[in-house]
Structure 1
């Protein structure tokens, strides 16, 4: 029998631990017909509620359930990496505990795997239930990312993805500290089938992804899979140097031809402020890449395990 590893990153999801398990087990008949054994890996990302206790209760009920609990909150990317690293299955699937990734799609996903695909990914075709401003910024991120990066990232892509062991091993070969899983999926390649579905709102609890966290996450994605911002910073520097040089020539010619005194200090202050802002912006871009390099060369572990059952 083949083994399916179900990886479930959790952060303060005590209300959804049992609900997710119940929804997943609705596929029990399918698992039996396909002769699939299942292991369920709950990856607790330093939860402050009773998520760990709930998973332990579930382990008493079903020995196929496993728990990996971090020493603190390391982020979802670390939880995904830990789940893939600990998985033993011939196939692995990542799903959120909040049930926004419907387990009912698993039979269709395996159908495409049987047809020769290496992985089956999901994407939302709507963002029903999300604030409009958040949806707009998300759409803009995907457009910008696909313009400045050679790695394709599909608009609305979820982390919900079924993969063969070959794909899992390829992802694990990328041991970088600053991880952006959506980009890693695209970078490793392989034949991928995309399944579209309507957005599903979380069953219980509140989202852990604030607008600010998503904004910082998008910056991580851009700096991880594109060096175009560095080129933009260089181009802006060259353009402002040319502008300053031409402006100096204009001032000299005007003084020689018309004898006008050099005046207009308010406009000069505005120009200096603008150029200074551009310099700081470009320095910030360079700083982002430098900080990523700094964290990589430290070679710190991606996560630390407090408890494993």
Structure 2
């Protein structure tokens, strides 16, 4: 309903103010290629725009590069005090964004800015959020494809929200969506889940990500596993339900086996062969207990992070005027 009622007003608003949020960690070479092309597209689509680069603790020449770009106007550079992670960097950028719409994209050139005009058209038609969805994962390893499929199955099990599979952070969001995201108090943020949780009218556009031109991917296998654990513990209780089911099954099997041994001893007279049975059972139950403690510990660690109430990120520098500059330039041209 919100999207339908907003459609006529957005159709009349041909040039919304646009904020582009780009989290970056050691992406100096890729930013040199991304920023000029992104600026050209925004100039053709909006009368007032800003590009917000959030430096998530880079150690390359990102700071020097952005010091030159912010002097040109329309650019804002947020430098975090250390590496807080991509989710925190995105939150910092969205908190600084002032446009009618906010567009998040990565700095590695795998999120093509050429899709921005299509996203804006969908927004004018009434969509509150437009996300880019990978057309396929054929370029990834089989392990990563299977892992991603399993993750989305777990997140979708018994959950009232639907997380769009293969949709990343490359998306356009209306101002109301950004405001809703900023109201969420989580410290450990799984943005894919939060995008889905806030709801609103969402549409998707398929795309094929181009190859990364400079530098290796920042997401190692261990980081991907950590990312998956964060998502599961934030948006699914399936592991806890599985543990409860395992406990019930083990208890029933133990009761049935114990009953069998008692009946055999009373009616057949066979002595209970204790040592092998007991050791096997103890080793099995010890493994189940340790696995259960690990799963419960993952959930408790999330509680521990939340109750400390530490800031999601800390800023070292905030340079540039962003949207104010391009808005003033537009007024001067008029």
Q: TM-score, normalised by structure 1?
A: 0.94
Task: State the partner residue of 1:58.
Answer: 69
For residues 204-219 of structure 1, the aligned pairs below 5 Å read 204-219=214-229
Tell me, yes or no, if the aligned pair for 1:126 and 1:199 is still in contact at 8 Å.
Answer: no
Match of 2:56 among 45, 51, 59: 45
Match of 1:307 among 308, 317, 328: 317
**How many angstroms does 1:289 deviate by?**
1.3
Task: State the partner residue of 1:116.
Answer: 126
**How many angstroms does 1:143 deviate by?**
2.2
After superposition, the C-alpha distances for 1:89-145 in whole angstroms (9 at most, x for unaligned) are: 111000100011110001111111110111111110112432222122112211222
Q: Residue 90 of structure 2: SS of its match in structure 1?
A: helix
- Is 2:174 the partner of 1:164? yes
Q: Residue 26 of structure 2: SS of its match in structure 1?
A: coil
CA distance in 1, matches of 2:186, 2:41: 35
Task: State the partner residue of 1:185.
Answer: 195
**How many angstroms does 1:169 deviate by?**
0.2
Tell me, yes or no, if the aligned pair for 2:128 and 2:201 is still in contact at 8 Å.
Answer: yes
Tell me, yes or no, if the aligned pair for 2:154 and 2:238 is still in contact at 8 Å.
Answer: no
CA distance in 2, matches of 1:38, 1:29: 8
CA distance in 2, matches of 1:45, 1:181: 16
- Runs of 4+ with >4 A deviation: none
- Is 2:23 the partner of 1:13? no
CA distance in 2, matches of 1:128, 1:18: 28
Tell me, yes or no, if the aligned pair for 1:118 and 1:163 is still in contact at 8 Å.
Answer: yes
CA distance in 2, matches of 1:88, 1:25: 17
- Is 2:297 the partner of 1:283? no
After superposition, the C-alpha distances for 1:217-262 in whole angstroms (9 at most, x for unaligned) are: 1111111012222222222212212221221111111111222122
CA distance in 2, matches of 1:231, 1:134: 25
- Is 2:260 the partner of 1:250? yes
Number of aligned pairs? 305
Task: State the partner residue of 2:327.
Answer: none
CA distance in 1, matches of 2:36, 2:278: 67
CA distance in 2, matches of 1:195, 1:166: 21
Task: State the partner residue of 1:95.
Answer: 105
- Is 2:247 the partner of 1:237? yes
Q: Residue 110 of structure 2: SS of its match in structure 1?
A: coil
Q: TM-score, normalised by structure 2?
A: 0.87
Measured on the aligned residues, the alpha-carbon RMSD in Å equals: 1.5
Task: State the partner residue of 1:226.
Answer: 236
CA distance in 1, matches of 2:276, 2:171: 57
The structure, 1 or 2, with the larger RCO (C-alpha pairs under 8 Å, 6+ apart) is 2
For residues 70-109 of structure 1, the aligned pairs below 5 Å read 70-109=80-119
**How many angstroms does 1:29 deviate by?**
5.2
